[in-house]
């Protein structure tokens, strides 16, 4: 069974209307007093009433328009019909940390998979101009920004204008091949995965490096980049080699896509997206780090203790004996499983050196 293109056309139109309404709802809360709660320990993964109301709006719209489709959203724990051929992934407010702090760098994301393959993506950046900016695409239909065709970055961008988006802790998570002649890019970290992927599709970012994304963060953006002529590669702790989506998900998931909703909610995805040539080059130069095993941790703890006994300047030990490098927010990998606490971008934004 092939994806029904008329379904995609109809779904895209429904999404554009719904996502603009969700964006207007978010703006009604923006820079106003908000109660912020946290879904994870250590005050990680913030959520507000704006997140919840936005997701409710998107869910209600999709349930009415496509009652036989499945839905998994970031905020609601219950998955609707996850074994359906068409399965939606919703992020009602990507960049909640920015939003709650009053920083205009957030987005709304609606992504659709058909039998486990991303086929449609709509992302809204509601704070950009009257009515916001809407990015949309479905497989075979091209990619558009506010109804104007858009393309991923070409090879003719002057060196001084080349931008990349990466998480601020990238070098804690990835190792770069020694001696690699990596062309430097000016680095930014926007704090919203959906936002960064949308602007990789538009050609603003020549490269976007994504760490620890959940499916609701990245399904829509992956479609946008690919339909805009860019490339997207994926990996994680179980599927360590950069690969296309189909090969990645076969390795990353123990059960067929949709049969284990809890596994889909927990799945972490690492991505390279943007200019096809740059993505291919980086895939050969960048790899995920592995967390050290128990013996290595014990040795390191012993060295730190010895340094203290000798009056050295060893810093305070981290919980569980891990060094600062390996206790970074997104954690790295151990036994093929992510220990991510922060997702890419949550809690950090800024600019830095090249990549």
Contact between 333 and 290 under an 8 Å Cβ cutoff? The reply is yes
Among 153-157, 190-194, 212-216, 342-346, the minimum mean pLDDT is found in 342-346
Q: What is the DSSP string of 191-209?
A: S-HHHHHHHHHTTS-SEEE
Which pLDDT score is estimated for 55?
95
Within 13 A of 146's CA, how many CA atoms are on the CB side?
9
155 vs 294, which has greater pLDDT?
Answer: 155
Which of 87-91, 257-261, 314-318 is modeled with the greatest confidence?
A: 87-91
Give this prediction's pTM. 0.81
Which pLDDT score is estimated for 198?
98
In whole angstroms, give the CA distance from residue 49 to residue 60. Answer: 16
- Band the pLDDT of 131: cuts 50, 70, 90: confident
CA separation (Å) from 249 to 93, 159, 182, 244, 301?
25, 35, 28, 9, 37
3-class DSSP assignment, residue 16 = helix
Among 74-78, 147-151, 266-270, the minimum mean pLDDT is found in 74-78
Which pLDDT score is estimated for 239?
92
Which pLDDT score is estimated for 317?
46
pLDDT, average across residues 185-195: 88
Q: Sign (positive/negative) of CA torsion 343, 349, 350, 351?
A: positive
Write the CATH number of the domain with boundaries 159-289+336-352. 3.40.190.80
* Fold match, 5-143 / 159-289+336-352: no
Contact between 268 and 213 under an 8 Å Cβ cutoff? The reply is yes
CA separation (Å) from 192 to 157, 224, 285, 315, 322?
24, 15, 25, 32, 28
pLDDT above 50 (res 324) = no
Which pLDDT score is estimated for 106?
96
Q: What is the DSSP string of 21-50?
A: HHHHHHHHHTTS----EEEETTTEEEE-HH
Q: Could you say which DSSP state residue 343 is in? A: P
Which pLDDT score is estimated for 182?
52
Which pLDDT score is estimated for 170?
74
Phi and psi at 258, nearest 5°, equal 95, -20
Q: Using alpha carbons only, how large is the chain's radius of gyration in Å?
A: 20
Which pLDDT score is estimated for 48?
85
Instruction: Tell me the pLDDT tens digit for each residue of 85-113.
Output: 999 999 999 999 899 989 999 999 999 99
- Band the pLDDT of 330: cuts 50, 70, 90: very low
How high does pLDDT run on average in the chain? 84
- Band the pLDDT of 34: cuts 50, 70, 90: confident
Which pLDDT score is estimated for 183?
52
pLDDT above 50 (res 190) = yes
Which residue ranges make up each domain of the chain? 5-143, 159-289+336-352
Contact between 48 and 96 under an 8 Å Cβ cutoff? The reply is yes
pLDDT above 70 (res 237) = yes
pLDDT, average across residues 270-278: 95
pLDDT above 80 (res 83) = yes
Overall CATH class of domain 5-143: alpha beta
């Amino acid at each position: 069974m092939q994806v029904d293109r008329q379904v995609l056309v109809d779904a895209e139109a429904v999404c554009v209307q719904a996502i603009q309404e969700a964006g207007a709802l978010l703006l009604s809360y923006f820079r106003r007093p908000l109660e912020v709660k946290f879904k994870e320990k250590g005050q990680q993964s913030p959520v507000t009433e704006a997140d919840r109301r936005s997701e409710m709006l998107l869910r209600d719209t999709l349930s009415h328009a496509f009652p036989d489709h499945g839905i998994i959203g970031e905020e609601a724990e219950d998955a609707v019909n996850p074994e359906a051929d068409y399965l939606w992934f919703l992020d009602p407010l990507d960049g909640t940390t920015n939003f709650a702090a009053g920083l205009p760098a957030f987005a709304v994301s609606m992504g659709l998979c058909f039998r486990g393959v991303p086929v449609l993506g709509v992302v809204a950046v509601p704070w950009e101009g009257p009515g916001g900016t809407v990015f949309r695409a479905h497989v075979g239909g091209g990619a558009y920004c506010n109804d104007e065709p858009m393309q991923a970055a070409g090879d003719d961008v002057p060196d001084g204008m080349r931008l990349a988006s990466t998480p601020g802790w990238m070098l804690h998570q990835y190792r770069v091949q020694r001696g690699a002649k990596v062309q430097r890019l000016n680095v930014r970290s926007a704090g919203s995965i959906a936002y960064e992927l949308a602007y990789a599709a538009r050609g603003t970012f020549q490269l976007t490096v994504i760490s620890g994304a959940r499916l609701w963060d990245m399904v829509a953006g992956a479609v946008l980049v690919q339909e805009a002529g860019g490339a997207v590669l994926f990996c994680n702790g179980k599927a360590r080699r950069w690969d296309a989506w189909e090969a990645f998900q076969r390795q990353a998931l123990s059960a067929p896509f949709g049969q284990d909703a809890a596994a889909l909610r927990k799945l972490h995805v690492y991505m390279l997206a943007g200019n096809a040539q740059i993505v291919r080059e980086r895939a050969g130069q960048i790899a995920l780090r592995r967390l050290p095993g128990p013996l290595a941790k014990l040795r390191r703890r012993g060295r730190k203790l010895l340094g203290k006994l000798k009056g050295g300047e060893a810093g305070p030990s981290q919980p569980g004996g891990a060094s600062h490098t390996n206790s970074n927010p997104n954690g790295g990998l151990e036994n093929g499983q992510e220990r991510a606490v922060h997702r890419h971008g949550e809690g950090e934004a800024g600019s830095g050196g090249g990549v």
